[in-house]
Structure 1
Amino acid sequence: MNEAVEVKKLPQILYSCYLARNREGEQFVPEHIFSYQIAGSIVFSDGATEQTFKEGEFRFHKRNQLIKFVKQPPGNGEFKALSVYLDQDTLRSFSMEYGYKAEKPHEIGSAILPLKPHPLLTSYMESLAPYQQPNPPTDENLIALKLREAILVLLQANPELKDVLFNFAEPGKIDLEAFMNKNFHFNVELKRFAYLTGRSLATFKRDFEKKFHLSPSRWLQQRRLQEAYYRIKEKGAAPSDVYLDLGFEDLSHFSFAFKKMYGVAPSRL
C-alpha cells in the first residue's frame, strides 16, 4: 500500500510572470496541468528528454512526474505563462457527471505532451485574461466552472487525453534500481521517491537497502557526487554549473561533500 503523500495546495489557475533570465527550478507535478506560453520560452527535462515550448504554444503536463525547467524571458521582456491545474477531485466529479472513463492504460511516454494549436484552446486561454491581473477573481464557483470548461475544451481538441485525464490509478510498484538511476538528481524528499515507485516509505527504505546495500540518503549523495566528478573531470563543467542540477541545495555543501569523498575540492580538479 502507498502511504498518503501530502501535496501542497496549488492555485488552480496560475499566471506566471518573471523578468529574471534563465530562471531555473525543479518540481514534482502532482496534478495534470494545461498550460499556454504567452511570452518567452521554457525548457523542460524529465531526466531522459528535453522539450522546449515557445510563445504561442500549448502543453499538457501529466501528473506524478519529476521535472526540471529553465524559464527564458524574451529580450527586453517578461516570461509569461498561464496554467490550469486539473486536480483529481475535479476530474472524478466530471467523470461521474459526464460518464467519461479511461478505456485503456495510457503509455507512460513523455511527461509533457505538446498540444496542437486549436481555436478552442486559444479562445479558452483568452477567456482567462482576468486571471492575469493583480487581483484575479477568487470566487470558487467561477473557478470551478473554468476548470470544467478546460476539461471539455481539452477533450474536444484532443480526444486521446481521455485515457490520461480519467486514469485515477496511483503509481504501481516498479523497478527500483532503474527508477533511481534515472531520477537521482531530483532534489525531492524520500517519501516522494517512495510514492513514485509504488511503495510506502518503510518498504522503499527496506527494498532500497536490499538492492543497493546503502541507505537511500547515503546512496543519493554518493551517486550525485560520482556524476559531479565525471562532469567536472571529463566534461570540463564548472562546479557552479553542476551542483544544482545534481540535487545539491547550495555550493558550499556540495564542495564540502565532494572534498570529503574525493580528497580534493571540485574547483581544484
Structure 2
Amino acid sequence: MDFQIKYITPDIKLSTYDDKLFKTETVFEFHMLVWFISGETKIIQADKSYIFKAGDIFLIPRNHLATIINYPKDGLPHKAVVMHLTKERLKDFYSNIEIETKNIRKETQIYSFEKNPLLESCMASLIPYFDLQDSFPENIADLKINEAVSILRVIDKNIDSVLADFEEPGKIDLANFMEKNYMFNMPLERFGYLTGRSLSTFNRDFRRIFLTTPQRWLTYKRLELAFYHLTEKNKKPSDVFMEVGFEDLSHFSYAFKKQYGFAPSLVE
C-alpha cells in the first residue's frame, strides 16, 4: 500500500494513493470539502451511493456514516485536496453573519459542486503550498478556508443549513437508525454517539429492542444483505463484502458459510 498525506495545516491536506483500492468506513467529526485531482471514489451511505471522478468537488457533512472506497484510475493515483471545515472555524465564520435559525435542519446528503470555476480555482490555488519547505502561515490558511466557505454560500443558497448547524447528535430512535445503518462497520461507541447514547446505554437499549447482542445482530443483517446482492443483483462476493460491512473477503466467506451452509461463491 502506498498512501501518502501532506499537510500544509492540520485542516488542509493533499492525499495520494497508488494501490488498487483503499476502503474506510467512517463518520467525520467535521465537514470535508474535497477536490479530486485524479482517481475515483465511491461513497456509500445508508440510502444512496455516489461516484466521484477527477475534477469533481464535493462536501461530506459531519456526523454521517459512510463507506468510502478510493481507486486509482487510468494509470493515475487517487489524489485529492481536502479541507476540514471544523465546527470551531465555522462558528467563527458565522459569528458576524445573521442567518434564519428556522432554516437550520439536519442534512444527510453529500453535496456535489460540478465544475464550478470559483471553487475549483480556490482549491487549485493550494497546490503550490504543499511543496513549501517552511510552515504555512495560519492566517493564510484561515483566509483560504473562509474563501472556500464564502464561495459555497454563493453557489448554494441552502448550504447554511449544513455549515451553520453546530448541534451534537441527540437521542434518536435506535431501531430505525440501526436498520438504516447496520452495513457500516463502526465501533459500537460511534453508533452510540450518533444515536445520542453512551456505550452502556446503547448496549442496554439495543438488547431490549432486538433481544440479542449488537455484534450478533450486525453480522446477521450484513450477511442477509450480502445474500440479497448475490442472489437478486447477481453480484460477485468480491464486489459485495466491503459494501455490507466486512473488512476482508476470507472473513466474509467464513461468516457467510457459517450462516447459510455454503460458500458465497456457490450462490447462483
Report the TM-score, using the length of structure 1 for normalisation.
0.83
Tell me the residue number matched to 2:90. 91
Pick closer, same or farther for the CA change 1:227–1:52 going to 2, 3 Å. Answer: closer
Farther off after superposition, 191-200 or 74-83: 74-83
Q: 1:192 aligns with which of 190, 193, 207?
A: 190
Q: 1:257 aligns with which of 247, 252, 255?
A: 255
Aligned-partner residue type, residue 230 of structure 1: Y
Tell me the residue number matched to 2:169. 171
Cα distance in 1 for residues equivalent to 2:73 and 2:207: 47
How far has the Cα of 1:196 moved from its partner? 1.3
Q: Does the CA-based 8 Å contact 1:102-1:167 persist in structure 2?
A: no
Instruction: Provide the identity percentage.
Output: 39
SS of 1:104's equivalent? Answer: helix
Q: Which runs of 5+ in 2 are unaligned?
A: 1-8
Q: Does the CA-based 8 Å contact 1:120-1:157 persist in structure 2?
A: no
How far has the Cα of 1:72 moved from its partner? 3.6
Cα distance in 1 for residues equivalent to 2:132 and 2:78: 16
How far has the Cα of 1:11 moved from its partner? 3.8
Cα distance in 2 for residues equivalent to 1:28 and 1:135: 32
Tell me the residue number matched to 1:241. 239
Aligned-partner residue type, residue 175 of structure 2: E
SS of 1:205's equivalent? Answer: helix
Q: Does the CA-based 8 Å contact 2:105-2:165 persist in structure 1?
A: no
Cα distance in 2 for residues equivalent to 1:240 and 1:53: 21
Cα distance in 1 for residues equivalent to 2:143 and 2:104: 27
Cα distance in 1 for residues equivalent to 2:234 and 2:147: 50
Deviation by residue 1:129-162 (Cα, 9 ceiling, x = unmatched): 2244385844434323322332223223333212
Q: Does the CA-based 8 Å contact 2:107-2:162 persist in structure 1?
A: no
Q: How does 1:1-269 map to 2 (within 5 A)?
A: 11-96=10-95, 98-101=96-99, 103-133=101-131, 137-269=135-267
How far has the Cα of 1:110 moved from its partner? 4.5
How far has the Cα of 1:217 moved from its partner? 1.4
Pick closer, same or farther for the CA change 1:185–1:134 going to 2, 3 Å. Answer: farther
Q: Does the CA-based 8 Å contact 1:205-1:216 persist in structure 2?
A: yes
SS of 2:250's equivalent? Answer: helix
Superposed CA RMSD: 2.7
How far has the Cα of 1:26 moved from its partner? 2.7
Pick closer, same or farther for the CA change 1:236–1:186 going to 2, 3 Å. Answer: same
Tell me the residue number matched to 2:3. none
